[in-house]
Homo-oligomer: A and B are copies of this chain.
């Protein structure tokens, strides 16, 4: 799967917001049927979302839907309604562990069969919002339908309540579980997704928070507001300075190899083939993002 830098949440009951979101620049949308929809509009939201998927796919907009759950089960009717051509995946909130992901996977297979889709095509993006899901992050990340796991933090939100921590700007209290999500995802060959900045109008705070997640190894993050998308996209895109730095590294090692050496000191640091592999990956990522824009 191609990486996703920005997942933009949109309340499922807001048809016009969904339509406008295709211009947001978000790599993927998450049409939300859950906490951002008032109870009285759940049914409306479900049918709005179901009706918009094909249109969004036509616009080449990648789309996920976050479904509701009771204390015991993900919402069967939600799943039946939105498992349609054009949907990339389902976002599931607050799984209690691998069992919930497996159950969701079986329910989605049922929906795929009933709705005539190929079995196994719809992805699951689990939001690891309970302590137990975080404890089993690696096992969850290994599930075949799961291309990415989310380790997000926000003051007073679900993860904070489940772990009992107190949110801070420097994130000392979330360093462990965010790092754990990064390692679990990477170990399983999947993407680690960070966030979640809920002071949506503080864009400098967002940029700083986003840089911190990127530095830990996240490959993208959840976003609550369209204005936040470009800032997040920028964080997860190699800058021209990055590209120049890494190209220089490649050139330096090539020169060294011509001279019969396997390593070189480049900008003050020992560099060998291991570093050049990293350099090539960064440049390749920069190129693929650029071509996606054109």
Could you tell me if A183 and B187 are in contact, using CB atoms closer than 8 angstroms? Answer: no
> Is A27's beta carbon under 8 Å from chain B?
no
Could you tell me if B269 and A219 are in contact, using CB atoms closer than 8 angstroms? Answer: no
Q: A36 and B268 in contact (CB under 8 A), knowing A72-B119, A135-B187, A162-B186?
A: no
> Is A131's beta carbon under 8 Å from chain B?
yes
Give chain B residues whose Cβ lies under 8 Å from the Cβ of A175.
172, 175-176, 179
Shortest Cβ distance from A280 into B: residue: B161
Q: What is the oligomeric copy number?
A: 6
Shortest Cβ distance from A245 into B: residue: B156
Q: In whole Å, how far is A284's beta carbon from the nearest beta carbon of chain B?
A: 12
Give chain B residues whose Cβ lies under 8 Å from the Cβ of A81.
none
> Is A37's beta carbon under 8 Å from chain B?
yes
Q: B-facing mask of A29-49, CB < 8 A → 1, else 0?
A: 000000111111100000000
**CA–CA, A162 to B188, complex, Å?**
11
Give chain B residues whose Cβ lies under 8 Å from the Cβ of A103.
99, 102-103, 106-107
Could you tell me if A187 and B134 are in contact, using CB atoms closer than 8 angstroms? Answer: yes
> Is A57's beta carbon under 8 Å from chain B?
no
Could you tell me if A165 and B71 are in contact, using CB atoms closer than 8 angstroms? Answer: no
Q: Tell which of B38, B106, B216, B278 touches A262, judged by Cβ atoms closer than 8 Å.
A: B38
> Is A199's beta carbon under 8 Å from chain B?
yes
Q: In whole Å, how far is A121's beta carbon from the nearest beta carbon of chain B?
A: 13
Could you tell me if B186 and A163 are in contact, using CB atoms closer than 8 angstroms? Answer: yes
Q: In whole Å, how far is A5's beta carbon from the nearest beta carbon of chain B?
A: 13
Q: A183 and B131 in contact (CB under 8 A), knowing A164-B219, A215-B166?
A: yes
Q: Tell which of B164, B184, B262 touches A37, judged by Cβ atoms closer than 8 Å.
A: B262
Q: B-facing mask of A192-227, CB < 8 A → 1, else 0?
A: 100000111110000000001011111100001000
**CA–CA, A113 to B182, complex, Å?**
31
Interface residues of A in 130-154 (CB under 8 A from B): 130-132, 134-136, 138, 154
Q: In whole Å, how far is A22's beta carbon from the nearest beta carbon of chain B?
A: 22
Q: A201 and B73 in contact (CB under 8 A), knowing A262-B37, A278-B157?
A: no
Give chain B residues whose Cβ lies under 8 Å from the Cβ of A107.
73, 103
Pairs A–B under 8 Å by Cβ, sample size 9: A76-B76, A103-B103, A156-B249, A157-B274, A163-B183, A165-B217, A172-B212, A180-B183, A199-B268
- Lowest 4 A-B CB distances belong to which pairs? A176-B179, A131-B186, A72-B109, A164-B217
